[in-house]
Amino acid sequence: MVKEAKLIKIGNSQGVRLPKRVISKYGFGKLILLEETQDGVLIRAAQGGKLSWEDTYKEMADAEQGEWTDWQNMDVELDTHL
């Protein structure tokens, strides 16, 4: 669904008013996340600092890349360390 909205002046800035129905539907609270994409700006609800399972998996995968390279580079037999 595409709807047109007007920018409104808020002090020295501008903002967009969101209908109450949209705020409720997407769980927007006092804090939201804005993500710039190639097509525009994506507005998402901030989830109290908690990531969804999908986002958690992605964060863990990004953080752990390269963590196992030390193990791959070891040139010793397992029996010597037992």
Write out pLDDT tens, residues 6-43.
Answer: 999 999 999 999 989 888 888 888 889 999 999 999 99
Q: Is pTM beyond 0.75 here?
A: no
Give a yes or no: residue 73 inside a domain: no
Three-state secondary structure of 34-73: EEECCCCEEEEECCCCCCCHHHHHHHHHHHHCCCCHHHHH
Give a yes or no: residue 20 inside a domain: yes
Give a yes or no: residue 62 inside a domain: yes
> What mean pLDDT comes out for the span 56-60?
75
Percentage above 90 pLDDT, the chain: 24
Instruction: Give how many domains the chain has, as a whole number.
Output: 1
Structure tokens at 25: 């539907």
Give a yes or no: residue 44 inside a domain: yes
Give a yes or no: residue 79 inside a domain: no
Give the pLDDT of residue 12.
94
Q: Are 6 and 15 in contact (CB under 8 A)?
A: no
Domain coverage including residue 24: 9-66
